[in-house]
Structure 1
């Protein structure tokens, strides 16, 4: 009977526990087991309602509760991180963006936010000294003679009920003691049976988080929870709360103080005490705050504990960066008169590093200067542009130990040293010869280098203007009314004409070396040196001297600022010029020619014409004429495009467009398309027969790039333009141009029969009737000629301005005729 009553009492307590889990307040985070849910569902509806009324809640959907549910209270939704940013003179502000010059407050992001869940911790190992209490459960496995498993729940009286053995008191025992007691009891009362005991689900406890918490209140948490667990559950410490003195109070007495800085900076959890039911975690107001920024690892605001020093603040912030300048630190402070003041600190001194800080202090650590001391730079035509350490007495040969250090083909006669004198950092430029420096080491030819010197090397055949121009521009910036710019110029027949820095004791020979030396056509007998000076009355005085560059004494003359040296070319010097002969000559090819050579001379050198040559069809082209014709074609194309665009605008503004206007636009667009494909020939009309026979007053001089093409004999005449069928026809002596037009089907209704003209085989143009436009009125046709029937613009509606039509049509016809003669 007693056993039955005990079981009923245990079952009733289990039901109460189930109901408490199902109908928990929002502060609970318990999840009933499936077995407990089944027990609750077996209760009568009236009993379920009574229990719900007793706890003051609605009956939840038990079926839905079969899905594991985590309590939603104190669920922490992510919030924008708020940090204490500024605390000067006792005022505290929140800031988040360091990019705007605002500092965060250290440590507040550790707990910031709202918890998304805080279910009791049941799945972590339990220490052997954990003291059991009501609500804890133990899992017991029996093995041996019998095999069973059951879960024992500690009731409110500290007892558990073991089937077949009855109740057992575990009140006040820790887990290891309770484990041994159960195992010993089963071993004594159940022969042949052994027990394995482990910890089941843990009880929940209620604690309070008060003070400057983000969400202060009462919380039900796991019995294994610590102070930091409670802080996370409450959303963390607000910007007004202290991180240095979080207090744990039990029954009104202070039990433990937690310094979050120890946890964050040292990983020390010794102050994170375990909580018990009824404990209070209290967060007092924030203490004195100081800031540090600049070249520091963790710029932020920090809370002081006691009399904090600069050394403590540096420790909190992780120390200085390598780029910090501790001797230049500043301390901003509000003094007793409530005025801001700045103090200079030298953090390499113990006196300043141990200085006591006050609430609102702010330390700024500046950055070291970007300049580098005790270095030599190597730039230009070197294999490696690098920076080397400078030591007193260092020379060029110590840096450039051999020519292998430089890129291929270096200029061994000219290199520069870019030097800034201290303290005003005035630029001066010094020149030296690499060859002399390597040949005579440790001599005057091997310059001694100074701190921050820059060695500039040049290639013998590379452009040196970029580096030189920078130097000259900097020298010009230093010039004044009493000190002219230290620069000299050289032009003419040198490799690299231009402006160069004037170095100390610079001579004409040095300037020639700077310019890369003379070219092959330099005239040594006469170079001009122009000099301009300003006297005391500020009158401009100019002087010109003639220097023989082959005279060692003359080229050793010293230069002055703004001297200009001009190196002339050898008289009658000319580069090799060439003409190309193609087609029916005995020896076609490229022929160089002299200044006085003529076209007849070159043809004679080429062996003359072959027996198949057609002299009247010779095509002679010249580069400058080709350039000129190409420009004319572009201009005509541009004007025609503009005319068409205007006509299209006019047509677009008209409600109807008749057929003649549409036809006019189509004709214009067709001409434009042909004009775009018309090549610039650069053809010069010549009579080759007169050239070959060397007729008086018909001598053609030559230019570089000229080309002569002599075609084979022709036996056809071509008709193009406004005819029914533009075609080439066999030449017949007795036919005139009208006959060929008729054989091409006659003219179209758009033809201009009054302006028909003939393009001769040599490129000349003839009119059938007398005209002052052309040089010849001989209208007799010959093989290779082209008859052109132009378009009559008067027969088309004037939608397009046909101002260039004649020229356009002529250029198109000329191009077509030239192609046909090839």
Structure 2
């Protein structure tokens, strides 16, 4: 029948118009075959494997090509089999004489056996013929007994007509039944009836065969044996009804006039356990319109009469369980638990060791209560460790549909994974985890190749509610200034981190604020472990907010903290600042209740950042990382490091600073954007002098890929000079100083024939060094030659003295740069700046290559 799927498509489309949409499939794409580009049809096939249009039931039984002759030689012959011309009888004599005879019924219906004479057997049953042969042998042959069995069966011709796959005359075995005749003819057509296949004999219908009885109940009592000349007639099918939803076998079913909903549900295999019996939806055609009726089969028992074209939809029960509580997050056994009257947290979480993961935060947990209408939620906060130990104040009483949310005490996945227990894993466990990791990465890569839209791909990988959570992030940013909260990639966070588990709760609370005008959210910032937005628990105070944020850092100032509170008074927002003792609040002596939109700021101990670290490398006597006080200078640290070695080259010292590196990186990005705009502008206004697209892209890539150095030009000789601090600088955290060895070379780079380095010679001029490099190239800008000094400063020689004998312009460690003539390429002035930046950064990186 597969070969005829194209022919059947047209008729199936008409039937499928009756079919309602099935519930969405929960099957996920788990195919791990080699990556290749899929066609839209293949992708739809994979993503909707269980979400197909309904097909008429029973037609896939007939598959394969028809055969003109299908003998049944090895099947047992029934006792009522009627012998006819051509049947063969096998007779075996034993006793005084042993021999066997194969006798064939001749054209006159006789069976001739030696010593027994002719016997008229045509029209007799097989059992009657066996009795006749035994009786004749007993009469005529003394001392000899016989055994009778069927030999070769005769062939006969039958007719299969009507809606057969290939109607016509077929030569079949005499043991062929009605169902076998259907297979011989290749099955039925798309519009054939399976409920009333008729066997006609001598002009009369002798059998009505319902194929559903065979397919559904295994009842073959109506599957009659055929006789020569019989006609198997397959009429067109009757009325169809569609069964969709929560049944075992959704499909299109052919019904008879007296069949009810109960009968059709039995055809569909019965209802699934989650089927909703109180409201079965029936769509039908009535008075020229499409009408809907609702049937309660729990009350009516399914005696509802169906009509052709009806679509019966069995809906599912609500997924939310009743009289249950849920444990979510860092628990050994998360999931649903039976709720009982008077149930408390300890009844669910029996002990720390048996119920909680090693990474569970024992100081912070939430109970999310659902309102009776299930539209709003409220939050209760509790101390997990105290609740599990049975402390009454923390061991909260639970209500139906409550959710207990448990968090990890780590925010980052890396910190959560770095446990001592990880070293207890066997080699096979480690290998299995590595295989699982590879498989997850492969599946991600597979999906990335299926979907071109990178933003949608990220939504699939990071979070199913990514769009909603992005909207939430924007809303919370508008409510609270969250600029001090560090932004991180989604894969940074641990599975049960506050960020992951709080997102759906915050989103729900944010929606409640929109509906009711209340906002049960607070913002905690400052010297806490995890600053951010948190739900405000019922009667929540300062100690609750600190526990929600993971507790205090070591640098927290306990004597004073501050709450920024915004109230709406007579239609206007009024902001107030409330100061309090954090130490007393945490001790329970002066805890202050919080309200929605409060902003708790935990201050830092003054001068806490007094200790900072700097690093000295290169030619110092004791290189390494030094902890210093704020306010100390570079000269002080060099003295602590024992000063410089005899091989130090102070004039070539490279001093880098973190904030300068970040500022330099931002300037490079701004310059890249500026260059892009100028190129675009010139391509519109100056069609005769534009840059090729490939050159522009290469330039922008080079500019973007430049590594920011963050170098600060210093006079190390001045810093090291005795009794003066005019050139000394105060140090910051992360500062680095690299002092190279003595250099006695001069380098030349840029638009010269051979960029290289040369031994320093005080008698050689700038022109001599350029000549040694083979002279300038055609695109060199000879009027803008400049020198990057060993200390990083830039010197542009005066034009009048470029090629004079002033050799003092060049010193050891200097780099001569011959830039590209930007006018030769384009009129964009930014090109000159770009090339200078590239050269200068290259010189700086070369100078600190030992870092």
TM-score, normalised with respect to structure 1: 0.72
Partner of 2:612 in structure 1?
Answer: 577
Q: 1:297 aligns with which of 245, 248, 254?
A: 248
Partner of 2:715 in structure 1?
Answer: 687
- Which whole-Å CA distance do the structure 1 matches of 2:322 and 2:237 have between them? 46
Partner of 1:492 in structure 2?
Answer: 526
Partner of 2:85 in structure 1?
Answer: 134
Q: 2:501 aligns with which of 467, 491, 494?
A: 467
Partner of 1:602 in structure 2?
Answer: 637
Cα deviation for residue 797 of structure 1 reads 5.1
- Which whole-Å CA distance do the structure 1 matches of 2:695 and 2:253 have between them? 85
Q: 2:765 aligns with which of 724, 731, 737?
A: 737
Query: Does residue 590 in structure 1 map to residue 614 in structure 2?
Result: no
Partner of 1:371 in structure 2?
Answer: 320
Partner of 1:325 in structure 2?
Answer: 276
- Which whole-Å CA distance do the structure 1 matches of 2:62 and 2:719 have between them? 103
Partner of 1:458 in structure 2?
Answer: 407
Cα deviation for residue 287 of structure 1 reads 7.4
SS in 2 for 1:551: helix
* Alignment check: 8 A CA contact 1:97 1:104 kept: no
- Which whole-Å CA distance do the structure 1 matches of 2:250 and 2:765 have between them? 97
CA deviations on 1:176-213 (whole Å, 9 max, x unpaired) are 66567778989999999998765343334455667887
Q: Structure 2 vs 1, CA of residues 77 and 157 (structure 1 numbering), >3 Å: closer, same or farther?
A: farther
Query: Does residue 788 in structure 1 map to residue 819 in structure 2?
Result: no
- Which whole-Å CA distance do the structure 2 matches of 1:643 and 1:429 have between them? 55
SS in 2 for 1:320: coil
Partner of 1:548 in structure 2?
Answer: 581
* Alignment check: 8 A CA contact 1:85 1:301 kept: no
- Which whole-Å CA distance do the structure 1 matches of 2:278 and 2:776 have between them? 98
- Which whole-Å CA distance do the structure 2 matches of 1:175 and 1:621 have between them? 108
- Which whole-Å CA distance do the structure 2 matches of 1:77 and 1:613 have between them? 87
SS in 2 for 1:348: helix
- Which whole-Å CA distance do the structure 2 matches of 1:673 and 1:314 have between them? 66
- Which whole-Å CA distance do the structure 2 matches of 1:363 and 1:558 have between them? 56
For these two proteins, the number of residue pairs brought into alignment is 727
Cα deviation for residue 325 of structure 1 reads 1.5
Cα deviation for residue 264 of structure 1 reads 3.2
Partner of 1:60 in structure 2?
Answer: none
* Alignment check: 8 A CA contact 1:665 1:800 kept: no
Partner of 1:347 in structure 2?
Answer: 297
Partner of 1:32 in structure 2?
Answer: none
Q: Structure 2 vs 1, CA of residues 632 and 139 (structure 1 numbering), >3 Å: closer, same or farther?
A: same
CA deviations on 1:657-698 (whole Å, 9 max, x unpaired) are xxxx99x99999999999899865443333323211242533
- Which whole-Å CA distance do the structure 1 matches of 2:700 and 2:360 have between them? 55
Q: 2:738 aligns with which of 705, 709, 713?
A: 709
Q: Structure 2 vs 1, CA of residues 384 and 124 (structure 1 numbering), >3 Å: closer, same or farther?
A: closer
SS in 1 for 2:379: strand
Cα deviation for residue 288 of structure 1 reads 7.7
SS in 2 for 1:524: coil
- Which whole-Å CA distance do the structure 1 matches of 2:819 and 2:14 have between them? 87
Query: Does residue 479 in structure 1 map to residue 513 in structure 2?
Result: yes
Partner of 1:64 in structure 2?
Answer: none
Q: Structure 2 vs 1, CA of residues 79 and 358 (structure 1 numbering), >3 Å: closer, same or farther?
A: closer
Query: Does residue 436 in structure 1 map to residue 470 in structure 2?
Result: no
SS in 2 for 1:499: strand
Partner of 1:65 in structure 2?
Answer: none
Q: 1:538 aligns with which of 562, 566, 571?
A: 571
CA deviations on 1:557-599 (whole Å, 9 max, x unpaired) are 2222222222222222216322222233222222222222111
* Alignment check: 8 A CA contact 2:819 2:835 kept: no
Instruction: List alignment gaps of at least 5 residues for structure 1.
Output: 1-74, 87-91, 655-660
Cα deviation for residue 396 of structure 1 reads 0.2
- Which whole-Å CA distance do the structure 2 matches of 1:339 and 1:785 have between them? 93
Q: Structure 2 vs 1, CA of residues 652 and 341 (structure 1 numbering), >3 Å: closer, same or farther?
A: closer
Q: Structure 2 vs 1, CA of residues 263 and 408 (structure 1 numbering), >3 Å: closer, same or farther?
A: closer
Instruction: List alignment gaps of at least 5 residues for structure 2.
Output: 23-52, 412-496
* Alignment check: 8 A CA contact 2:241 2:254 kept: yes
1:584-663 alignment runs, 5 A limit:
584-629=619-664
* Alignment check: 8 A CA contact 1:719 1:744 kept: no
SS in 1 for 2:216: helix
Cα deviation for residue 266 of structure 1 reads 3.0
- Which whole-Å CA distance do the structure 1 matches of 2:601 and 2:272 have between them? 57
Q: 2:219 aligns with which of 268, 286, 299?
A: 268
Q: Structure 2 vs 1, CA of residues 174 and 639 (structure 1 numbering), >3 Å: closer, same or farther?
A: same
Q: 1:528 aligns with which of 544, 562, 584?
A: 562
SS in 2 for 1:479: helix
- Which whole-Å CA distance do the structure 2 matches of 1:710 and 1:342 have between them? 87
- Which of these two proteins has the greater Rg computed from alpha carbons? 1
Q: Structure 2 vs 1, CA of residues 485 and 161 (structure 1 numbering), >3 Å: closer, same or farther?
A: same
* Alignment check: 8 A CA contact 2:68 2:171 kept: no
- Which whole-Å CA distance do the structure 1 matches of 2:16 and 2:845 have between them? 82
1:736-775 alignment runs, 5 A limit:
736-737=764-765, 741=769, 744=772, 747-748=775-776, 758-766=787-795, 769=798
**Relative to total residues, which structure has the larger helix share, 1 or 2?**
2
Partner of 1:557 in structure 2?
Answer: 592
Query: Does residue 417 in structure 1 map to residue 367 in structure 2?
Result: yes
TM-score, normalised with respect to structure 2: 0.70
Deviates further, 217-226 or 686-695: 217-226
Partner of 2:445 in structure 1?
Answer: none
- Which whole-Å CA distance do the structure 2 matches of 1:324 and 1:343 have between them? 17
- Which whole-Å CA distance do the structure 2 matches of 1:724 and 1:303 have between them? 89
* Alignment check: 8 A CA contact 1:722 1:748 kept: yes
